């Protein structure tokens, strides 16, 4: 495929370059909480039920239980405790993800932190005291990325048997367990091994056991009643969960965010090693701008309230527009630029890499970059994104302030 130049000549854009801001420290909210607890400055409430610290932990980390996703594939750390009758809960916000497994004392936590990539923790659900352990060896890294970057956060639609046992995917290399999914994955290929609540019209997905795989990798139809579910009560005992929902909008948002975070951390790592190749920059921008997003076959609606709570605290421009506003009719977001541009992961990019991203993004939004890869963005999209950023992002290079479409 031929591509028109993404960057207009650098000399012409030199005036756009942001003053080299010092690299912002990337806070690790889990380490901060751990320190406050150890110093006796804070307290986590232990509930004398299956949840233990879970509820108060989420409250302290600013994670809303309506973000709950439920995954029953036996593909993770505590897989022997996980199955279709006991799916694992995963909760998230922009910086933290928390895993909770029924019948386990170990809560699993991940955050994108400092320059080191991801940080992995467990929290022992012990009434005596909340004890965090940080893992810097292969305990978590053997799946989440030995180098702490790739793949990092994981969302995968992995072939599983009816009981959640993964079936290896043959490949040219070693057989794989994960079919990673993101916003570019066609709807019909998503969510094998996950529960999903919400409506999506005539579109079908592989969640809720709709598809099962036999050991030889053959795919066949699975359970009945798997699409457009408002409740999972006939699948497992939802009363033992913090929330009965596995909200489709939360899942699609996390699917976007997981890959976006992995890409931002990957860009930071590359830049620190001394190279942020142009292809990596283009791929990052294409993902940020949703240009390869799989179109929605039908409108989507969630069940948990996530659709309302997620945009509630968003930075908004004078017209009330925010990058966190959902569309959900033909695409995930109304204004197709990732809200992760406000995240700690973005802010922690080395200043030069951030400047390169801003410079290239500016060229795309103002129409100076006409490469076909970004042609899907309409003029209205570009104009809205530019205007939203102009009033909600404080570290833009000076030229952005004046630009108008």
The smaller minimum CB distance to ligand HEC, of residues 75 and 238, is found at: 75
Q: Could you list the residues that contact ligand HEC (CB under 6 A)?
A: 71, 73, 75-77, 88, 90, 97-99, 108-110, 120-122, 135, 139-140, 142-144, 153-156
Contact call for residues 91 and 58 (beta carbons, < 8 A): yes
The nearest distance, CB 28 to ligand HEC, in angstroms, is 13
The smaller minimum CB distance to ligand HEC, of residues 52 and 336, is found at: 52
The nearest distance, CB 67 to ligand HEC, in angstroms, is 11
Task: Say how many C-beta atoms besides its own lie within 10 A of residue 27's C-beta.
Answer: 15
Report strand pairing: 96-100 vs 88-92: antiparallel
The nearest distance, CB 77 to ligand HEC, in angstroms, is 3
What are the backbone dihedrals phi and psi of residue 303, each rounded to the nearest 5 degrees, phi first?
-125, -15
The smaller minimum CB distance to ligand HEC, of residues 194 and 400, is found at: 194
Q: 198-217 as b/e, with b when 16 or more CB fall inside 10 Å?
A: bbbeebbbbbbbbbbbeeee
The nearest distance, CB 84 to ligand HEC, in angstroms, is 13
d(CA 325, CA 333): 6
The smaller minimum CB distance to ligand HEC, of residues 155 and 270, is found at: 155
The nearest distance, CB 234 to ligand HEC, in angstroms, is 22
The nearest distance, CB 260 to ligand HEC, in angstroms, is 13
The smaller minimum CB distance to ligand HEC, of residues 258 and 353, is found at: 258
Q: Which two tokens stand for residue 80?
A: 């022997």
The smaller minimum CB distance to ligand HEC, of residues 141 and 315, is found at: 141
109 forms bridges with which residues in the sheet? 98, 121
What stretch of H or E contains 36?
helix 29-38
Contact call for residues 47 and 41 (beta carbons, < 8 A): no
* Sequence-separated (6 or more) residues with CB below 8 Å from residue 94: 257, 339, 340, 342, 343, 344
Q: Which two tokens stand for residue 207?
A: 């969640």
The smaller minimum CB distance to ligand HEC, of residues 108 and 369, is found at: 108
The nearest distance, CB 194 to ligand HEC, in angstroms, is 8
With the C-alpha atoms ordered 54, 50, 77, 87, is the resulting torsion angle positive or negative? negative
Scanning the structure block, which residue is given the tokens 């079936």?
Answer: 167
The smaller minimum CB distance to ligand HEC, of residues 98 and 357, is found at: 98
The smaller minimum CB distance to ligand HEC, of residues 153 and 389, is found at: 153
The nearest distance, CB 251 to ligand HEC, in angstroms, is 10
- Using DSSP, state whether 53 is helix, strand or coil: coil
254 forms bridges with which residues in the sheet? none
What are the backbone dihedrals phi and psi of residue 321, each rounded to the nearest 5 degrees, phi first?
-90, 145
> At CA 200, angle to CA 160 and CA 304, rounded to 5?
85
The nearest distance, CB 199 to ligand HEC, in angstroms, is 23
Contact call for residues 144 and 120 (beta carbons, < 8 A): yes
The smaller minimum CB distance to ligand HEC, of residues 126 and 380, is found at: 126
| C-alpha 347: how far from chain center | 17
The nearest distance, CB 399 to ligand HEC, in angstroms, is 37
DSSP 282-307: HHHHHHHTTTTPPPPSS--B-SSSHH
């Amino acid at each position: 495929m031929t591509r028109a130049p993404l960057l207009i000549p650098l000399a012409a854009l030199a005036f756009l370059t942001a003053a080299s801001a010092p690299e912002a420290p990337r806070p690790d909210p889990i380490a901060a909480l751990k320190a406050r607890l150890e110093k006796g400055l804070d307290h986590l409430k232990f509930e004398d039920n299956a949840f233990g610290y879970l509820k108060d932990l989420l409250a302290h980390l600013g994670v809303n239980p309506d973000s709950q996703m439920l995954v029953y594939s036996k593909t993770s750390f505590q897989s022997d405790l996980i199955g279709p009758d006991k799916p694992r809960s995963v909760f998230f916000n922009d910086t933290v993800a928390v895993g909770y497994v029924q019948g386990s004392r170990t809560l699993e936590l991940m955050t994108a932190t400092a320059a080191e990539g991801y940080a992995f923790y467990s929290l022992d659900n012990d009434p005596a005291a909340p004890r965090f352990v940080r893992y810097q060896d292969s305990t978590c890294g053997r799946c989440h990325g030995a180098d702490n970057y790739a793949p990092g956060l994981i969302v995968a639609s992995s072939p599983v048997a009816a009981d959640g046992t993964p079936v290896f995917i043959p490949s040219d290399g070693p057989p794989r367990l994960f079919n990673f999914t993101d916003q570019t994955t066609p709807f019909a290929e998503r969510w094998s091994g996950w529960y999903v609540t919400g409506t999506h019209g005539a579109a079908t997905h592989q969640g809720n056991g709709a598809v099962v795989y036999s050991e030889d990798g053959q795919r066949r139809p699975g359970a009945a009643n798997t699409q457009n579910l408002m409740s999972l009560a006939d699948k497992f005992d939802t009363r033992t969960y913090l929330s009965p929902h596995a909200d489709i909008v939360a899942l699609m948002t996390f699917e976007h965010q997981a890959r976006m975070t992995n890409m931002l951390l990957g860009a930071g790592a590359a830049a620190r090693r001394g190279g942020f190749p142009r292809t990596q920059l283009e791929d990052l921008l294409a993902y940020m701008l949703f240009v390869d997003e799989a179109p929605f076959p039908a409108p989507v609606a969630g069940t948990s309230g996530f659709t309302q709570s997620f945009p509630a605290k968003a930075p908004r421009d004078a017209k009330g527009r925010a990058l966190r506003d959902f569309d959900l009719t033909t695409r995930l977001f109304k204004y197709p630029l990732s809200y992760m541009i406000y995240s700690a992961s973005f802010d922690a990019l080395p200043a030069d890499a951030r400047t390169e991203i801003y410079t290239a993004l500016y060229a795309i939004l103002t129409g100076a970059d006409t490469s076909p890869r970004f042609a899907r963005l309409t003029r209205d999209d570009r104009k809205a994104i530019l205007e939203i950023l102009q009033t909600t992002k404080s570290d833009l290079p000076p030229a952005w302030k004046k630009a108008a479409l």
